[in-house]
Amino acid sequence: MTAFTATVTVRLKRGVLDPEAETTQRQLERLGFELDDLRSADRFEIDLDAESADGAAERAEEMAERLLANPTIHDYDVEVEQAG
């Protein structure tokens, strides 16, 4: 078994309203920053042991499907690195 870190990024699907991101964007504009758009996402960094990077990615995808993401409103992606 090898130690891996899987990073799961969970984003709202395009078209789903994100009032928190809109508020953050407006606050930045009020502070004088110019920006075209701001999107927010949740990021989970998960340390786990697996036989291979593929095995770790598969397990992290299953975690996303079962708990971390809501498939109705979220997209997610998974990246895996060997822990250093």
Question: How near is the Cβ of 72 to its own copies at its closest, in Å?
Answer: 19
Task: From 14, 17, 66, 70, select the one nearest 42 (Cα to Cα).
Answer: 70
Question: How near is the Cβ of 68 to its own copies at its closest, in Å?
Answer: 7
> Binding its own copies by CB under 8 A: which of 15, 34, 51, 72?
34
- Three-state SS at 5: strand
Is residue 35 close enough to count as binding its own copies by CB under 8 A?
A: yes
- Three-state SS at 54: helix
Is residue 47 close enough to count as binding its own copies by CB under 8 A?
A: yes
Q: Alpha carbon of 37 to those of 21, 25, 76: distances in Å? A: 9, 7, 20
Is residue 78 close enough to count as binding its own copies by CB under 8 A?
A: no
Is residue 77 close enough to count as binding its own copies by CB under 8 A?
A: no
